[in-house]
A = this chain, B = another copy of it.
Amino acid sequence: MSTTDTQPRRSIGAARNPDSHAAILAAAEEIFCESGYAGFSIEAVARRARAGKPTIYRWWPSKAHLLLDVYTRLKSSRMPDPDTGTLEGDIRSFLTELVRFWSGNTGGVYKSLIAEAQADHKAAEALQAYSIERTQHTAGMFERAKARGEMRADADSLAASDLMSAYAWKLLLTDRLADQADIIDKVTSILVRGLVK
């Protein structure tokens, strides 16, 4: 794909040049890690990646979409899905690791994004889509517990995933990420009892 926008656009599929897409993501990740939410903008990413703003908008409809893409990639690399072999271990690990992941600058970025989504329509759309996708992804943890015969077949994996992550959100949004081992244990215990056979 040309980096200028004077040529006629091809379809998004055809136009997706891996190098340029990767360059934009790499620039976005650098800016995310260096400057957090306040310094993150489509303009800054375009400058750093030497890409045109329209090129970025062709792939990511808003700053929030691009930021959540970077956030998801960081999360996948730093916080692997728990697979301890037990539901209790997986839930405790999920909550503990998420709180740890957020204790870096990612927590600040994520809470700022949730905040922006309360006022900005595109950010709200991006957050809702991200949240639904992640809830489905994390439901796999509960489906594995069902497959092991550990979790009740009639307990809803999506609802469990949504409830568990909601708890982490509230810790983040009320500045209670520190020293949460005790309360995470108590919440884990309620969830496990609520889900096991």
Interface residue ranges, A against B (CB under 8 Å): 111-112, 114-119, 124, 127-128, 131, 152, 155-156, 158-160, 162-163, 165-167, 169-170, 173-176, 183, 186-187, 189-195
The 5 closest A-B pairs by CB, nearest first: A194-B194, A166-B170, A159-B186, A115-B115, A190-B194
Among the listed B128, B169, B192, which residue makes an inter-chain contact with A166, where contact means beta carbons less than 8 Å apart?
Answer: B169
Cβ of A175 and Cβ of B115 under 8 Å apart? no
Chain B hits for A156, CB < 8 A: 186, 189-190
Cβ of B174 and Cβ of A127 under 8 Å apart? yes
Q: Which residue of chain B has its CB nearest to the CB of A172?
A: B118
Chain B hits for A174, CB < 8 A: 117, 127-128, 131
List 6 interface pairs A-B (beta carbons < 8 Å), by A numbering: A127-B173, A159-B183, A159-B187, A162-B187, A163-B167, A166-B170
Chain B hits for A162, CB < 8 A: 167, 170, 183, 187
Question: A167 vs B164: C-alpha distance in the bound complex, in angstroms?
Answer: 8
Question: A25 vs B155: C-alpha distance in the bound complex, in angstroms?
Answer: 45
Among the listed B119, B152, B155, B187, which residue makes an inter-chain contact with A163, where contact means beta carbons less than 8 Å apart?
Answer: B187
